[in-house]
Structure 1
């Protein structure tokens, strides 16, 4: 794991509210607002200047471009939603290239957990009554991927805080 405790402490206060909003919005409306995507890019643009060495900061913008292109292709092919693709691109610069395998494993685990939890929650009548207007309850084939994407970004930066000194690479 190449993300440092310092980076985590710089980014966490800014990304957590954005990620929580994205998860909520995607579950309630099945959409991730463009303003939220732009806000996350803005967080990286400003906080990244302070949290990262300048060379790393500059190279990580390439992550955004590459993931945006991949996401555009995947969205055009109907494999992912456009909001999910844009949010994934906005998340990309936050991740160190050396942590790519860790990020994919983290995303896989969080995706499975989020999917199962979402499906269980929507099957519970009391939950459906408490949140009757959530669109993600009624879309049988769709899943609010923003839940898993935002969880991945948050836990990536929580790992060095929860497990200080542990190397996961």
Structure 2
């Protein structure tokens, strides 16, 4: 199985087209940074003056919806603890109007579901219209058990709708 990480969607498609034309296997797994909070993707990075190509942006998510045979993997979905730890601030890529609304919706859904914020983030990723395999790190058995419990957390359609609606137009960032 071949995979790629942190490429523009057009570049992934180009490689898959070239591989198919040559009778070779193409990418089957795509790994990108993706989480419930939306990041600005327009900020230049060291790898690209055009923005952050390592983030699952709208064009990549749209591409994945049209290519259901591709398996998306989301790395750092819990933002290194930033969802639950005050000593782990979010970076400037999260500094926009949608972040506070999405954080509030996340806390409300977690309380309503009797789950942790981290479990809701992971369940949201796994059960979305573009299901993601979250790549989760744990530094304790308790953290691992918390993350594994997210597999059994099924977000109701109402809860998912609340999460998806929060933050409004910032989703295009």
TM-score by length of 1: 0.28
TM-score by length of 2: 0.28
| Higher RCO structure (Cα 8 Å, ≥6 apart) | 1
Q: Which has the higher helix share?
A: 1
Q: Which has the higher strand share?
A: 2
